[in-house]
Amino acid sequence: MVDTEGKTTALTSSHLERGARMVPFAGYLMPLQYSGQIAEHQAVRKALGIFDLSHMGEFRLTGPGVLAAADALVTNRITGTRPGQAVYSPMCREDGGIVDDLLVYHLPDSVLLVVNAANIEKDAAWVREHLPRGVTFADESDATALIAVQGPETEAFLAPLADLDLAAMDTYTARAGTVAGTPALISRTGYTGEDGFELYVEPGAAPGLWDRLLEAGAPRGLVPVGLAARDTLRFEMGYCLYGNDIDDSTSPLEAGLGWTVKLGQTFFIGQEALRRQKEHGVTRRLVGLVPAEERAIPRKGYPILDAERQVGQVTSGTFAPSVGRGLGMGYVEAPRAGKGETVWIDIRGKRAEATVARTPFYTEGSRKAPGTVEGKDHGNA
């Protein structure tokens, strides 16, 4: 069955031709799955998967003072990074709530912000409102297609197709080059816990690149992957999903993203509120939840309880294919959020015992720690 609501990407007809199950997502018609969620998930863990992420938004900032302008927008620090560096960061409101979480690319002549599809309009308004005079904003979302290749085989697969030395590229760096003849911003980033590259290309070139990569990668086990497997892959790593685990009402300190909050550095929006929150301590924390019974699957919205009352709520939960059991993430009141604490999850009226745990749930991923190539730590966890 084909659901025809939503904006299309440059690759929509490719997905339909390959029989993907399409769903409306963040206003776009996107592939939910192709061969099956678990099969696609395992392909990425064990070999290779290719994703259409063209729904993501891209904003380009240019002009004098662009790095300082980026610093003011996000909690992490861009000044001091080298051109080619990518930085993961929340973008906060004055009260410390998260407007969005994004990738910030420090490029030679500009700063590129990559934002969640559902937040493109909200973020564009926010960014424009908070840019200093002289820094120019351009929404390039409709002029940019994004293809991700993820999995332990990615470097071996893509290196012969690229005009850059991909093996020499550090995690969280990006360079302009070509892949299979297509000009791309080649970024060693991802959302799966595996090694991988994300390729920003012109929409007109996307279908050809997609087809060439699928064809060239098939012998290595490359399969197209939908949003369903993308969600279980990121979940097993404990990566936050905007709209589930973080939103305007949660702070990066509550969400375990303190490593992205540079309180002692230059000004950013929300700095004061987050400084106060850090001084006073957060009242709740986003934690991992491991049910005692592995067939118990926490789901978004389920209440988290202690012996007497509700102490939190599940924000993401699923069967985790690479762990082989049900797992959850959720906010728990700080006194009950310590590792090893016992809580209960109200699973459709039944109390299921669970233990508070640190994430990631899956620790065997092939993603290289930042800095392993060049021997320095960029501070991205």
Site residues (vs other proteins, CB under 8 A): 1, 21, 32-33, 36-38, 228, 231-232, 295, 297, 299, 318-319, 321, 326, 348
**Shortest reach from residue 118's CB to other proteins, in Å:** 18
d(CA 79, CA 67): 6
C-beta closer to other proteins: residue 265 or 313: 313
**Shortest reach from residue 363's CB to other proteins, in Å:** 20
Angle 59-88-194 (CA atoms, 0-180°, nearest 5)? Answer: 115
**Shortest reach from residue 37's CB to other proteins, in Å:** 5
C-beta closer to other proteins: residue 32 or 180: 32
Residue whose structure tokens are 């106060």:
276
Burial of 280 (0-12, 13-18, 19+ CB in 10 A): exposed
The crossing angle, in degrees rounded to 10, of helices 37-46 and 227-236 is 50
C-beta closer to other proteins: residue 36 or 208: 36
**Shortest reach from residue 32's CB to other proteins, in Å:** 8
**Do residues 146 and 28 lie in contact, with contact meaning Cβ atoms separated by under 8 Å?**
no
**Shortest reach from residue 232's CB to other proteins, in Å:** 6
C-beta closer to other proteins: residue 2 or 307: 2
C-beta closer to other proteins: residue 1 or 307: 1
- Please give the full DSSP string across 321-368, using - where no structure is assigned: TTTTEEEEEEEEEGGG-STT-EEEEEETTEEEEEEEEPSPS-----PP
**Shortest reach from residue 319's CB to other proteins, in Å:** 5
C-beta closer to other proteins: residue 232 or 250: 232
**Shortest reach from residue 31's CB to other proteins, in Å:** 13
Angle 113-318-39 (CA atoms, 0-180°, nearest 5)? Answer: 85
- Please measure the distance between the N-terminal and C-terminal CA atoms of the chain and give it in whole angstroms: 41
C-beta closer to other proteins: residue 33 or 81: 33
